[in-house]
Structure 1
Amino acid sequence: MSVVAVPGSKSVTARALFLAAAAEGTTTLRRPLLSDDTDGFAEGLTKLGYAVEREPDRWRIEGRPAGPAVGQADVYCRDAATAARFLPALAAAGHGTYRFDASAQMRRRPVAPLTDALRRLGVDLRHEEAEGHLPLTVTARGIKGGDLELDASLSSQFLTAMLLVAPLTAEGLRIRVTGLVSAPYVEITLAMMRSFGVEVLREGDTLTVPPGGYRATDYDIEPDASTASYFFAAAALTGASATVPGLGAGALQGDLRFVDILRRMGAEVETGADATTVTGTGRLSGVTVNMRDISDTMPTLAAIAPFADGPVRIEDVYNTRVKECDRLDACAENLRRQGIRVETGRDWIEIHPGTPIATEITCHGDHRIAMSFAVAGLRTPGVTFDDPGCVKKTFPEFHEAFAAQRRAWGV
């Protein structure tokens, strides 16, 4: 058995930063993820006037339920979708003029479902260039609240942003949700809101959030389940064993369900109270899976799919086309260049068995493409990457950590 140290969850860290900023009092976050995305989020809070004190394994945030401490700010969100979608909602609850911009990659990604929702609640905001995209200026005068219908078919982050800001509104929010993807991420949001003192009432597709704000707390960040998928997949691929402590039966993150797919493909999986272990058995079976709820792990499965003994078909993952890149096309493109037969549709990809040849992987600036094909590279010596540094978004030390793990496994 090999114990793998996985850094903190990006999704949990981003939500915790928002909640800490919105809460009354000082919150301590323990073992947060330090990556380009979370650094950008924390920097955005600082620009908005929140006091953020950072040590390597402990961050302290002084909350301000009334909103940003400054009346004007220019926030650069880098490549971070969480910052670009959460921080404008937080700013809208305050009073002032706040501009949000981001990298060219993030500018291409949509924010329209969020900004449409804020506008319907009376928030004054303006897209400076392309409608529904950053850059964006929010002229904030607080949010009254009320009833809202929200389309979450492109990303659950739009719903999360509105849920997180709801306790800061005057009347609370009653949100009717349509087309939800990545539903487990919303469960993370609801559980974390509960930890900060807010209980959300759920009735069918409607979520009701009371006003009244949050209370500060000490909060432990669990390891990132999406990142753990690379080590679990590597174990299944090579016949090794990987144990990730901190991700057990009570884990918040739905992406841990990736191990259920590996089990179906033939790996041995043991999930305990506070750890999960995957052990490869020397074979991988073909499988058809719906990954709508765990779509961030789609590239992980796609990259190792050629080593299965039958086709691997991944369905209901249209939203991966509007991530850091079009991940369906990026996976298909790289697999085809490796000599693998691949078919794709609007929301699916089917990958046939084969022996990938060594080639340079085109990362499209996407951390998940780079890390996924690094896993597959365990069975394809000579694979290189056009942009290996793009992993800084969520796991800056990935290549070093993965190389060390490979040596520990002797593969």
Structure 2
Amino acid sequence: MPAVDIPGSKSLTARALFLAAAADGVSTLRRPLASDDTEGFAEGLTRLGYRVGRTADAWQVDGRPQGPALAEAEVYCRDGATTARFLPVLAAAGHGTFRFDASPQMRRRPLGPLTRALRDLGVDLRHEEAEGHHPLTVRAGGVQGGEVVLDAGQSSQYLTALLLLGPLTRTGLRIRVTDLVSAPYVEITLAMMRAFGVEVVRDGEVYEVPAGGYRATTYPIEPDASTASYFFAAAALTPGREVTVPGLGTGALQGDLRFVEVLRRMGAEVEIAADRTTVRGTGVLRGLTVNMRDISDTMPTLAAIAPFASGPVRIEDVANTRVKECDRLQACADNLRGLGVPVTTGPDWIEIRPGTPAPGTGIKTFGDHRIAMSFAVTGLRTPGLSYDDPGCVRKTFPGFHAAFARLPQAS
């Protein structure tokens, strides 16, 4: 059975680093993702005074329930949204003055709903340039806790950040959510908090997070389901090709594994076992209409194979993809049109009609790892595609191009 070794989940690695840093004791993270984003998160922890030790297949973090070891620090968050959104929250629970900045790409991405919620909780936080964006300074004196209202309609990371903060407050948090996108990522957060000793109670749109801190543990990081989507799509696109990803099965935390159900609807054979998932190409790829609000990171993957379907592919409810590393909905539309494929778009949807992508076309990545990796799948059936920034995959999978070149051949 042809198996593909997918690196650890970016989402799980970032959450695990926060939880380990906040926990009482030393935590070990097994098979964490080593990429630009996660290295940036670990570097940020180090800048705040946490100890992060690394071996080839594990990272160890000395937790500090009382917060950063330093009274002053400057942290550069690179392109990492989890770094840029989670670390200021971790710092707010400590004591000191902490300044955060990020790359131009990350500076453009919104923080406003999260920083408004932090201010409502009494955090002294100042945006230095554009309101609701990096750079920002936190003058931390701990967080009392209490009730807060949050709009997480742009990013579930806002809610995750507050959930992670809850046990570090003096009295706990009661979070009322008015809107939420990418809900499965919140389920990841709740499951991981449980592994570090905290049980969150949810009642509809209200989350009750107890005070009391986290307990150190050893935590295995499962493979990244969003990254796996490119390899699953490659199988679905090629008759007779079969791809198996060990470590992602029925018990997987990541909602993006549901992408294989979209491939099943299109005609691929999908088998999800307890500890692995397999996709086989059948030679059938049907068009469909699909709501991808909860698995929107895989929207570009579907867009990249859509031209080869027998009917139109319409992807709906993905407005939040416009505020990712780039406007992903527009980036997909622009690249597909550049390939000669008929595309129409709206504020939160894209419809792609069948077409034969033109060989030898240049793909604009917009510096976005997911655009580069998605159109690599298009390249399996379109000779001579080139990319203006193939190296942008280092954000989540530095070895992507080599791994993709080793894809199992069709049987």
In structure 2, how many angstroms separate the alpha carbons of the residues matched to 1:45 and 1:304?
Answer: 39
Measure how far apart 1:219 and its partner are: 0.3
Letter of the structure 1 residue corresponding to residue 29 of structure 2 = L
Q: Percent identity?
A: 75
How far apart, CA to CA, are the structure 2 residues paired with 1:223 and 1:410? 24
Aligned to 2:44: 44
Q: What stretches of structure 1 move > 3 A for 4+ residues in a row? A: none
In structure 1, C-alpha distance between the alignment counterparts of 2:237 and 2:265, rounded to whole Å: 13
CA distance in 2, matches of 1:30, 1:368: 25
Instruction: Look up the match of 1:271.
Output: 272
Give the letter for the 2:109 counterpart: R
Unpaired segments ≥5 residues, structure 2: none
Once the 2 structures are TM-superposed, how far is the Cα of residue 122 of structure 1 from its aligned partner?
0.3
Work out whether residues 300 and 332 of structure 2, in 8 Å CA contact, stay in contact via their aligned partners in 1. Answer: yes
State how far apart, in whole Å, the 2-side matches of 1:128 and 1:400 are: 41
Shift of 1:29: 0.3
Which secondary structure state, in structure 2, belongs to the residue aligned with residue 96 of structure 1?
strand
Matched, 1:372 2:377: no
Structure 1 Cα separation of the partners of residues 125 and 231 of structure 2: 43
1:410: Cα distance to partner? 5.7
SS in structure 2 of the partner of residue 69 of structure 1: coil
**Counterpart position of 1:284:** 285
Report if aligned partners of 2:20, 2:216 keep a CA contact under 8 Å in 1.
Answer: yes
For residue 344 of structure 1, what is the aligned residue in structure 2?
A: 345
1:64-92 Cα distance to aligned partner (Å, 9 max, x none): 00100000000000000000000000000
> How is 1:286-325 mapped onto 2 (pairs within 5 angstroms)?
286-325=287-326
2:221 is the alignment partner of 1:221: yes
Is residue 239 of structure 2 the alignment partner of residue 253 of structure 1?
Answer: no
AA matched with 1:37: D
**Is the partner of 1:392 in helix, strand or coil?**
helix
Q: Residues of 2 paired with 1:51 and 1:165: CA distance?
A: 20
TM-score by length of structure 1 reads: 0.99
Match of 2:137 in 1: 137
Alignment of 1:101-112 (within 5 A): 101-112=101-112
1:24-35 equivalences under 5 Å are: 24-35=24-35
Counterpart of 1:179 in 2: which secondary structure? strand
Shift of 1:204: 0.7
Name the amino acid aligned to 1:360.
G
Please say if residues 242 and 410 of structure 2, whose CA atoms lie closer than 8 Å, have aligned partners that are also in contact. Answer: no
Q: Does 1:382 align with 2:384?
A: yes
Q: Which amino acid aligns with 1:45?
A: L
Residue in structure 1 matched with residue 201 of structure 2 by the alignment: 201
2:231 & 2:179 partners in 1: Cα distance? 31
Aligned AA for 2:402?
E
Aligned to 1:81: 81
Match of 2:94 in 1: 94
Checking the alignment, whether the CA contact within 8 Å between 2:238 and 2:410 is kept in structure 1 is no
- Name the CA distance, whole Å, in 2 between partners of 1:409 and 1:91: 48
Task: For residue 180 of structure 2, give the secondary structure of its aligned residue in structure 1.
Answer: coil
Q: Tell me how far apart the structure 2 counterparts of residues 366 and 62 of structure 1 sit (CA, whole Å).
A: 32
In structure 2, the partner of 1:398 is 400
Q: In the alignment, what sits opposite 1:211?
A: 211
Which deviations, in whole Å up to 9, do the C-alpha atoms of 1:219-261 show, x marking residues without a partner? 0000000000000000000121000000000000000000000
Q: CA deviation at 1:283?
A: 1.4
Name the counterpart of 1:242: 243
Residues 1:174 and 2:184 are matched in the alignment: no
**Shift in Å, 1:409:** 1.1
Residue 378 of structure 1, CA deviation: 0.0
2: CA distance, partners of 1:62 / 1:371: 35
CA distance in 2, matches of 1:39, 1:56: 13
Shift of 1:114: 1.0
Q: Displacement of 1:105 after TM fit?
A: 0.2
> Shift of the alpha carbon at 1:147?
0.4
Calculate the TM-score normalised by the size of structure 2: 0.99
